[in-house]
Structure formats: C-alpha cells, structure tokens
Amino acid sequence: MASIFTRLINGEIKGEIVHQDEHCAVLKDIHPQAPVHLLVVPKKEIQSLGTARLEDQLLLGHLLLTAAQVAREQGFDETGYRVVINYGEDGGMTVPHLHLHVLAGRPLTWPPG
C-alpha cells in the first residue's frame, strides 16, 4: 500500500504542497513544530535513511538542495533554519517514507529533546 505521503502527493488525501518537481514534493507538516515546518519527500518510496542505497545518492543530494531552496525562497537564509531526518524508534520516526523536516521561523534549541 502507498505511504501516507505518496497518497498526499497523488491528491488522494488532503494536504498542502508548496513545491514539486520530478523527484520530490515539499508538504506542510500537519502538526507544525515551528512557524514554518515543511517536509521534503522523495517520490520514490524509500522507507528511511537507513534503507537508502548507493543508487539513491543523487536523489538524497537533491532532497538536501531542495530543502535549502525552499528555505531560501521562504526568506530564512539570513535567520537560519534546521533540516532534520528522524530514523528509527529512538530517532522519533513515525512515517516509514523518507522525509526531511525543514523547521524555521523561531530560534530552535539545541540539543533537541
């Protein structure tokens, strides 16, 4: 069965897509943890960072550059932002379809909780 993100990208369930290209889509997170909270999602259903393979390396680079591009477009180049990938139970991963979180719009504390 397709992941929740794939169904969202395909328009089968409702969600807000702010950017899309051949390889990925950028969605607004349904439970934002910052004033801006976006998810950069590859259209290829890679389950997680831990299951990404050498053949995915160009795609992984594209996801990072897309995260930087959307953050720049939304005006966060000067104030900054955070890009996060959660993996596994301790990492807090809840959706088994690789995605990068882009968090911006407030000072983010470190270390994360």
> Active-site positions?
99
Q: Is 50 in the site for ligand 5GP (CB under 6 A)?
A: no
Judged by CB under 6 A, the chain residues 73 through 102 that form the site for ligand 5GP are 86, 92-95
Q: Is 46 in the site for ligand 5GP (CB under 6 A)?
A: no
Is 98:52 a contact under the CB 8 Å cutoff? yes
Rounded Cα gap, residues 29 and 13, in angstroms? 14
Q: Is 67 in the site for ligand 5GP (CB under 6 A)?
A: no
Between the alpha carbon of residue 13 and those of residues 4, 18, 98, the distances in Å are: 8, 15, 18
The residue ranges that bind ligand 5GP (CB under 6 A) are 4, 8, 15, 27-31, 39, 86, 92-95
